[in-house]
């Protein structure tokens, strides 16, 4: 599992969740898991701040400063020749 962040801007308010499951479906790093129609943030450290969960949550239960996470890591890996993209 990709684990480049020890802290992220990701914030989740479970009191707003209506259990649609979209965040778990769209997250490329399985940060969310559904249990009994409620999303659980089970791997915040895996978040690359892509913003997909925030963009797709119908009740704005998720906040994240997105826009550079994966893209920055991939560009840095390409420029430095590293095989494993790492966000810093
Ligand atoms: S911002 Fe992207 S990587 Fe982070 S939890 Fe949301 S969907 Fe997953
Ligand atoms: S997308 Fe939003 S409402 Fe849907 S399960 Fe995730 S946190 Fe809950």
What CATH number does residue 45 fall under?
Answer: 3.30.70.20
Confidence at residue 82, expressed as pLDDT on a 0 to 100 scale = 66
Expressed in angstroms and rounded, the spacing between residue 53 Cα and the centre of ligand 1 is: 5
How far CA 21 is from CA of 29, 33, 47, 79, 87, in Å, comes to 15, 8, 17, 36, 27
Residue 70 pLDDT greater than 80, yes or no: no
Q: Could you tell me if residue 74 is inside a domain? A: yes
- Give the C-alpha separation, 6 to 16, whole Å: 25
Domains of the chain: total: 1
Q: Could you tell me if residue 1 is inside a domain? A: no
Confidence at residue 15, expressed as pLDDT on a 0 to 100 scale = 98
Q: Could you tell me if residue 5 is inside a domain? A: no
Expressed in angstroms and rounded, the spacing between residue 43 Cα and the centre of ligand 1 is: 10
Ramachandran bin of 81, using left for φ above 0, alpha for ψ from -120 to 50, beta for the remaining angles: left
Residue 87 pLDDT greater than 60, yes or no: no
Q: Report whether residue 70 contacts ligand 1, using a CB cutoff of 6 Å.
A: no
Expressed in angstroms and rounded, the spacing between residue 64 Cα and the centre of ligand 1 is: 8
Q: Could you tell me if residue 19 is inside a domain? A: yes
Q: Could you tell me if residue 30 is inside a domain? A: yes
Cβ pair 39, 19 in contact under 8 A: yes
Confidence at residue 78, expressed as pLDDT on a 0 to 100 scale = 72
Task: List, in order, residues 6 or more apart from 9 with CB less than 8 Å away.
Answer: 49, 63, 64, 65
Instruction: Encode pLDDT of 3-53 as tens digits.
Output: 444 578 999 999 999 999 999 999 999 999 999 999 999 999 999 999 999
Q: Could you tell me if residue 20 is inside a domain? A: yes
- Residue closest by Cα to atom 6 of ligand 2: 23
> Which domain, by its residues, includes 48?
11-80
């Amino acid at each position: 599992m990709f684990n480049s962040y020890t802290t992220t801007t990701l914030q989740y308010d479970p009191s707003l969740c209506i259990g649609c499951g979209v965040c778990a479906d769209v997250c490329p790093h399985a940060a969310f898991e559904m249990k009994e129609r409620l999303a659980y943030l089970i791997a915040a450290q895996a978040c690359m701040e892509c913003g997909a969960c925030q963009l797709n949550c119908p009740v704005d239960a998720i906040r994240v400063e997105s826009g550079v996470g994966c893209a920055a890591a991939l560009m840095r890996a390409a420029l430095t020749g590293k095989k494993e993209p790492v966000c810093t």
